[in-house]
Amino acid sequence: MHPLIIPLFIPHAGCPHACLYCNQRLTARETDDLPRPEQIRATVREWLRRSPGRSAEVAFFGGSFTLLPRERQERLLDAVQPLVDAGQLSGIRISTRPDGLDEAALAFLRDYRVRTVEIGVQSLDDEVLQRAGRGHRAAESCAAIGRVAGAGFHTGAQLLPGLPGDTPERSLASLAGVIGAGAQFVRIYPALVLTGTGLAQLHATGGWQPPSLDATVRLCARMLLLAAKAGIPVIRLGLQSDEGLVAGETVLAGPWHPALGQLARGELYFLLVCALAGGLAGAPEQVFCHPRRIADVVGHARRNLVRWHQRGLAVQRVLADAGLAPDELVVQSCGHRMSGSILTTLNDEEML
């Protein structure tokens, strides 16, 4: 079981830039002040009470942790050290910018028993970074990933596909680049137009149009496939629906969907069934999958069943088979069976 991650938001704290897309005070739903030590401990205790017996990590998200004044970093980390000592927390994770991770910062984090560092890369295309107002270049992100991973931290990269100047090819290249630099996991947050941001102004004046939801689902499916083939987990795809997001209010435009991850995973299974059906004498009547993947194979709101029927693939049932791996499917028609895997059967050309 994955560890329980207890988020503590420090919105925009430490950040030296106001990036084009960013309004963290919306998505974090917090005040300008950092949480006090007693608030931190109370939050951790409440999360642990709701998930007894689970390994847990506390995570300082939302700002650029290592760019906070050192005494403020110490105050936050001091608050959780007793919980680590008592075995109530198995680790600490922080998120920060690539230009806030020099050797001194890493030594400090190590002393305070931080285990995981998530780096806000967003893109590895310098034009995209410049237009987004990030204030650093792609090379700094790659160097930071290598430096953090080399120092023994569990290292992750956060990507924002769909920013102004971005293309599917650039987004895929960014993912390949962070994996090549040493990232051990990724988060993917397709760019949204949030109220109160520079991106909202740009969109309102007709200077930029975000990618559609369908285009974003296809891109995210391709990114999931690339990461899976590299053995790199995507631990989050899309902002959560409880992160202060309301379509038409806080989210003015862009490919937001509360089940974006399921839509992207479902796209992979949709394509896999289409690929395997070509080897059958007739249309597939039944699809077998790992028990935990039935919802993804059927698709959000039975989306895949509808689309298969539109293609003349009359899939009647999706059934569980515990002997299959999560990436595998078997399709059956008139006693004939074809098996395949997302990892070995699909390739990026089929997803264009």
pLDDT single digits (tens) 21-50: 887 555 444 444 688 999 999 999 999 999
Task: Spell 113-140 as b/e; 16+ CB within 10 A means b.
Answer: ebbbbbbbbbbbbeebbebbebebbbeb
Question: Which one, of 238, 202, 199, 197, lies nearest residue 219 by Cα?
Answer: 238
Which residues make Cβ contacts (< 8 Å) with residue 301, sequence separation at least 6?
none
In a domain, 237, yes or no: no
Which residues make Cβ contacts (< 8 Å) with residue 173, sequence separation at least 6?
124, 125
For the chain, how many structural domains are there in total? 2
In a domain, 283, yes or no: yes
Fill in the DSSP letter of residue 133.
T
Name the domain boundary from 189, 212, 245.
189
Whether residue 43 sits in one domain with residue 152: yes
pLDDT at position 167, please?
98
Q: Which domain holds residue 164?
A: 4-189
In a domain, 40, yes or no: yes
Instruction: List pLDDT tens digits, range 222-245.
Output: 999 999 999 999 999 998 765 566
* Number of CB atoms found within 10 A of residue 76's CB: 23
User: What is the average pLDDT score of the chain?
Assistant: 92
Strand-pairing partners, residue 91, are 57
Question: Which one, of 204, 114, 130, lies nearest residue 166 by Cα?
Answer: 130
pLDDT at position 211, please?
97
Strand-pairing partners, residue 253, are 193
Burial class (CB in 10 A: 0-12, 13-18, 19+), 266: buried
Name the domain boundary from 189, 216, 247.
189
Give the per-residue SS3 of 148-168.
HHHCCCEEEEEECCCCCCCCH
pLDDT at position 29, please?
44
Instruction: List pLDDT tens digits, range 316-333.
Output: 999 999 999 999 999 999
Band of pLDDT at residue 284, cut at 50, 70 and 90? confident
Whether residue 277 sits in one domain with residue 159: no
**Cα gap 322→325, rounded to integer Å:** 8
